[in-house]
Amino acid sequence: MPSTLDRPNPLPREIAPGVFWLGECLEQRARGKVYHSYNAAFLVVGSKASLLVETGHPKDFLTIEAQLRGILGTGNRAPLRHLFLTHEETPHSGGLGRVLETYPDVTVHGDLSDYHLAFPQFADRLHWMQEGDMVDLGDRQFVAVEPVIRDLRTTWWGFDTGAGVLFPGDGFAYSHYHEDCHCGMVAEEARTLDLGDVSAVFAEKALFWTKFVDMNPYIDRLNALVKRLDVQAVAPTHGLPITNVAETVPKVMAGLLFGSEAPMTAMGDLAHKAA
């Protein structure tokens, strides 16, 4: 099977009405396999304004900018007016300065601790959000919601009321198999993907605190949030979008539980399930 690197980038892709998945793969090696992950951004297109979720990793900015131009450049869709950041980590907000310079009408939303120190010239475009605060896009709203699984203290999650899409940042994070050509697929299309295993691996590398807490209360809160919001799709920054919540979300949750309960190896890695 040919490498996905030998084919054009399968993104952007509309994963729900008015919600576009942007970015490109990041190749990593672990356990003798080539895993791919995303530092994705998402575009939510409303009737009056569009909103970008995350900026992507700095290395991906030119790709994401070209994808934005392709989607919005025809003039048939509302212009980009807002940016929501789940938190300050580089794969999520590393392109902030470039976005603000490229799109002078864009305002930034989220927990914006310290952004004014890095970009004092853009301080008047920074708008803090608390849980329940909304950004009006016309026929849909973008809402700040509880960040059940935080990567940083400042983490917020977002929710699009138009298509029922949850944007959980590092929540629901997992890699996918390069050799099985999963790049650009939604989770339900990647039938050979062991979601439990890859979710546990990602939690081990990026959310190591999950090794030292009982994850069951977090799972309960995740289930409650998904039910309360009536989530129809999940768009994680690191991972394949989930379009069948009932089928796929329990598998990701099982991976979080496995990662928290699995024994450690002498190298500090999680013991493989097969062991």
CATH number, domain of 57, equals 3.60.15.10
Domain membership of residue 84 (yes or no) is yes
Could you tell me the maximum CA-CA distance found in the chain, to the nearest angstrom? 57
Domain membership of residue 21 as a residue range = 4-188+232-243
**105 or 260, greater pLDDT:** 105
Q: What are the Cα distances from residue 41, in Å, to 1, 57, 70, 218?
A: 28, 9, 15, 25
Flag whether 176 is in a domain.
yes
What pLDDT score does 18 carry?
98
| Among the ranges given (50-54, 55-59, 105-109, 124-128), the one the predictor scored with the smallest mean pLDDT | 55-59
pLDDT band at 26 (very low <50, low <70, confident <90, very high): confident
In the prediction, which pLDDT does 150 show? 85
Q: From residue 42, give the alpha-carbon distance in Å to each of 115, 160, 171, 184, 266.
A: 21, 11, 15, 13, 39
Q: How far apart are CA 113 and CA 94, in angstroms?
A: 15
DSSP alpha helix (H) spans, 23-106: 61-72, 90-93, 96-102
Q: What is the mean pLDDT of residues 214-242?
A: 93
Q: Strand runs (DSSP E) across 23-67, as ranges?
A: 25-30, 33-38, 41-45, 50-53
pLDDT over 50 (residue 105): yes
Q: Please enumerate in sequence order all residues whose Cβ is within 8 A of that of 160, keeping only pairs 6 or more positions apart, or say none.
A: 16, 18, 19, 44, 140, 141, 142, 143, 167
| Out of 74-78, 224-228, 244-248, least confident range | 74-78
pLDDT at 258 over 70: no
Residue 72 resides in a domain: yes
Question: Does residue 35 lie in a domain region?
Answer: yes
Pull the structure tokens for residue 82. 């807002």
Q: What is the CA radius of gyration of the chain?
A: 18
**What ranges make up the beta strands (E) of the chain?**
13-16, 19-22, 25-30, 33-38, 41-45, 50-53, 80-84, 107-110, 126-128, 134-136, 141-145, 157-160, 165-167, 176-177, 233-234
Query: In the chain, pLDDT over 70 holds for what percent of residues?
Result: 85
- At residue 5, the pLDDT reads 44
Residue 118 lies in a domain: yes
pLDDT tens per residue across span 39-81: 899 999 999 999 999 999 888 999 999 999 999 998 899 999 9
Establish if 222 belongs to a structural domain. Answer: no
Is the per-residue pLDDT at 29 higher than 80? no
Say if 212 falls within a structural domain.
Answer: no
Query: Nearest Cα to 141, choosing from 88, 192, 82, 90?
Result: 82
Range 221-235 burial, b when 16+ CB lie within 10 A, else e? ebeebbeebebbbbb
Helices vs strands, H then E, count in the chain? 7, 15
- What pTM was computed for the model? 0.88
- How high is the pLDDT of residue 215? 81
pLDDT digits (tens, 9 = 90+) for 70-102: 999 988 999 999 999 999 988 889 999 999 999
Q: Confirm whether 268 is domain-assigned.
A: no
Dist CA 115 CA 192 (whole Å) = 41
Identify the pLDDT of residue 153.
85
Number of domains into which the chain is organized: 1
Q: Work out the pLDDT band at 2, boundaries 50, 70, 90.
A: very low
